[in-house]
């Protein structure tokens, strides 16, 4: 057993990750699976939307001039010659003095130029309607291309597709869309003391917490966890070597990342690839390691749950997002609020401090306590104290990243 001779700064570790670029290639997927994916190229509208004039209200398609001068005291009478429904247009002629009953979204008959809302009439009496107010030409009429013009950019390149974007794709007749490739992420959960996730702990055995947490984080960041990332890997160099070298774009190792007798992952990575960084000047997560095997990125995350979360957020999550063509920025909402109590740190170390919010003030929960995962469930978010700071006094404004 030995300690770390030196620790890399958080800034230097992040600079090492600056070389990570999106994976080559792309894939075409059905739009039903497109929400949350990253669009490769800008999408242009293949047609005007809408493609026809349509009613924007329920009422009557009319010649606007036929309604001029109508009042409740001087109603005008129009002859109702038919009806238009969504998907079922009225195809006959509409002469002056005639009207067509129409529903919202229905195609406007060619000869008409306005929609008289139903509330501006006394309703249909047999085959006539009494008009009690006037409408100008073009009123309550949707025109071709008012939503999207043919050839216009509907969605820009590199956009993360939202549910409403998928709706637009469908409205344009797009059955498939081309998106970035999702990075394949292998989870290597190590520890002789671990039971499969969800198991009942007993004796000195504990249930795996990091596996389910990491899977959720990877999926949040657009990664695809490989199907065989389910079993617990024993603290055995040969087993760890086999897991590290199996096919993947990126490997996350949970546990065995430090310098203890059973911490095999750093040595295995050094032997079969490159251990570029081992030991980072931060709390928690100081035993974090970063390296590669060929083109495959490998992150050695501490086994303590809070340290694992912190190291993932600072480094691994950033790399997964970049590989998938996403922004490397923190995927958390941010707010700036004053501290209710002082937040103490040490110069030379970056701190990841869990906090709660109390009446728009920030209350520090913890900096230490790397094994207390419940500190993150009690927390509303976290504050990063940079390595050149000794912390912040009560009342100082700090940037809070919200877990949501």
Mean pLDDT of 258-280: 88
CATH code for the domain in which residue 301 is found: 3.40.980.10
CATH code for the domain in which residue 121 is found: 2.170.190.11
Q: How confident is the model at residue 257 (pLDDT cuts 50, 70, 90)?
A: confident
Q: How confident is the model at residue 3 (pLDDT cuts 50, 70, 90)?
A: low
Of residues 250, 234, 349, the one with CA closest to residue 4? 349
Q: How far apart are CA 295 and CA 184, in angstroms?
A: 13
Q: Kindly report which listed range (6-10, 117-121, 394-398) carries the lowest average pLDDT score.
A: 6-10
The range of the structural domain enclosing residue 170 comes to: 26-48+159-180
Q: Do residues 38 and 173 share a domain?
A: yes
Q: How far apart are CA 365 and CA 352, in angstroms?
A: 11
Per-residue model confidence (pLDDT) at position 314: 96
pLDDT digits (tens, 9 = 90+) for 194-207: 888 888 999 989 88
Q: Is the pLDDT at 292 greater than 70, yes or no? A: yes
pLDDT digits (tens, 9 = 90+) for 54-99: 999 999 999 999 999 999 999 999 999 999 999 999 999 999 999 9
Q: How confident is the model at residue 1 (pLDDT cuts 50, 70, 90)?
A: very low
Residue 1 falls inside a structural domain? no
Q: How many other β-carbons are positioned within 10 Å of the β-carbon of residue 347?
A: 10
Residue 148 falls inside a structural domain? no
Please measure the distance between the N-terminal and C-terminal CA atoms of the chain and give it in whole angstroms. 40
Q: Do residues 14 and 64 share a domain?
A: no
- The whole-chain average pLDDT of the chain stands at 92
**Percent of the chain topping pLDDT 70:** 96
pLDDT digits (tens, 9 = 90+) for 149-181: 999 999 999 999 999 999 999 989 999 999 999
**Percent of the chain topping pLDDT 90:** 79
pLDDT digits (tens, 9 = 90+) for 7-56: 899 999 999 999 999 999 899 999 999 999 999 999 999 999 889 999 99
Q: How many other β-carbons are positioned within 10 Å of the β-carbon of residue 206?
A: 13
Q: Do residues 300 and 368 share a domain?
A: no
Q: Is the pLDDT at 371 greater than 70, yes or no? A: no
Cβ atoms of 259 and 3 within 8 Å: the answer is yes
Q: In total, how many domains does the chain have?
A: 4
Q: Do residues 210 and 338 share a domain?
A: no
């Amino acid at each position: 057993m030995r300690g770390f001779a030196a620790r890399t700064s958080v800034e230097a570790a992040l600079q090492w990750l600056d070389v990570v670029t999106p994976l080559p290639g792309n894939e075409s997927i059905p739009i039903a699976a497109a929400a949350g994916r990253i669009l490769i190229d800008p999408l242009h509208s293949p047609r005007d939307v809408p493609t026809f004039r349509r009613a924007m209200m329920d009422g009557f398609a009319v010649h606007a001039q036929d309604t001029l001068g109508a009042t409740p005291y001087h109603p005008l009478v129009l002859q109702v010659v038919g009806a238009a429904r969504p998907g079922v247009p009225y195809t006959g002629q509409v002469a002056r003095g005639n009207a067509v009953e129409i529903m919202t979204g229905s195609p406007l008959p060619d000869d008409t130029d306005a929609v008289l809302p139903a509330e501006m009439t006394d309703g249909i009496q047999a085959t006539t309607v009494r008009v009690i107010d006037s409408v100008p030409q073009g009123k309550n009429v949707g025109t071709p291309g008012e939503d999207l013009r043919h050839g216009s950019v509907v969605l820009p390149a590199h956009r993360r597709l939202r549910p409403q974007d998928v709706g637009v794709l469908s409205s344009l007749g797009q059955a498939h869309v081309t998106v970035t490739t999702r990075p394949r992420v292998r989870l290597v959960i190590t520890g002789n003391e671990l039971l499969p996730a969800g198991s009942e702990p007993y004796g000195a055995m504990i249930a795996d917490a990091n596996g389910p947490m990491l899977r959720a984080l990877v999926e949040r960041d657009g990664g695809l966890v490989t199907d065989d990332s389910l079993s617990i890997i024993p603290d055995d160099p040969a087993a760890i070597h086999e897991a590290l070298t199996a096919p993947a774009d990126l490997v996350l190792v949970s546990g065995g990342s430090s310098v203890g007798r059973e911490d095999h992952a750093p040595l295995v990575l050094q032997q079969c690839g490159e251990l570029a960084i081992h030991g980072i000047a931060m709390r928690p997560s100081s035993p974090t390691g970063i390296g590669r095997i060929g083109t495959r990125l490998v992150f050695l995350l501490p086994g303590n749950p809070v340290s694992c979360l912190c190291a993932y957020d600072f480094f691994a999550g950033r790399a997964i997002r970049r590989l998938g063509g996403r922004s490397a920025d923190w995927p958390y909402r941010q707010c700036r609020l004053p501290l209710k109590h002082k937040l103490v740190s040490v110069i030379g170390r970056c701190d990841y401090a869990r906090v709660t919010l109390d009446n728009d003030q920030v209350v520090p929960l913890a900096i230490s306590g790397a094994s207390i995962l419940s500190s993150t469930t009690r927390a509303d978010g976290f504050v990063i104290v940079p390595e050149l700071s000794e912390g912040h006094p009560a009342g100082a404004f700090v940037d809070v990243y919200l877990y949501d």
